[in-house]
Structure 1
Amino acid sequence: MSQPTKGPWEAQFEDTPYEELGENWCVNGGIGSICTMDGPRDQREANARLIAAAPDLLEAIQEQVDECFDPACEMCARHEAILAKARGEA
């Protein structure tokens, strides 16, 4: 799997030029833009902020796994499962 686009990404509120779409929250960064247009405004904002935080979350989880030396650690196993899911392996 190729590596995801590194951050920083940021969530921003944007008025769309397309009247039928209304307002939306977009994530801008090295990925271009991803806009969330479905659901209530607060939910679109939460989704955009979560997407924008993804590179930092992925890095933090990888650091935790790299520092885990206990093969029986449930938290480390959970973090490894999350990383596998992010890589499309689960």
Structure 2
Amino acid sequence: MRRMPGVSTAIKAKPTPGPWAYNATSEGWFDVGPIGGRYRGCTANVFNAECIGGITNAEAEANARLIAAAPDLLEALEDIVDVLDALGEALAKVKDARAAIAKAKGEA
């Protein structure tokens, strides 16, 4: 992952848990943050071209949507990694079983 210059990579804090959502403000940008639970309020602001040149409102909303999906994306990726780890172990067992079958048949 590329980081912005000067941003520390040593931070060990966990992110605010999801689910997150975004909403348009009356000022023309998007607030992003957790919904429900013990966490309340805005975690990030996503600005459009009125604040940052060149970013359309649609692009700012797409960015807010992506940021709001981050906790769900992280959880889904962690689940996939767990499945792949289990699959890798299963594939190793299949390889061992094939070797045992070949040995029993005199094909090893």
Q: Do these two structures clear the TM 0.5 threshold for a shared fold by scoring above it?
A: yes
1:40 aligned partner, one-letter code: T
Identity across aligned pairs (percent)?
38
| Map of 2:75 onto structure 1 | 59
Aligned equivalent of 2:41, options 21, 32, 43: 32
Unpaired segments of 5 or more residues in structure 1? Answer: 17-22, 72-90
Name the TM-score, length of structure 2 as normaliser: 0.54
Indicate the structure whose relative CO is greater, using CA pairs within 8 Å and at least 6 residues apart: 1
Residues 13-72 of structure 1 show CA distances to partners (whole Å, capped at 9, x for unaligned) of 1112xxxxxx1111132373211113110000000000000000000000110111338x
| Map of 2:66 onto structure 1 | 50
For 1:63 and 1:53, the matched residues in 2 are separated by 15
| Map of 2:9 onto structure 1 | none
| Map of 1:9 onto structure 2 | 20
How has the CA–CA distance of structure 1 residues 31 and 53 changed in structure 2, closer, same or farther, with 3 Å as cutoff? Answer: farther
More strand per residue: 1 or 2? 1
For 2:73 and 2:40, the matched residues in 1 are separated by 16
Unpaired segments of 5 or more residues in structure 2? Answer: 1-11, 90-108
Equivalent pairs, count: 65
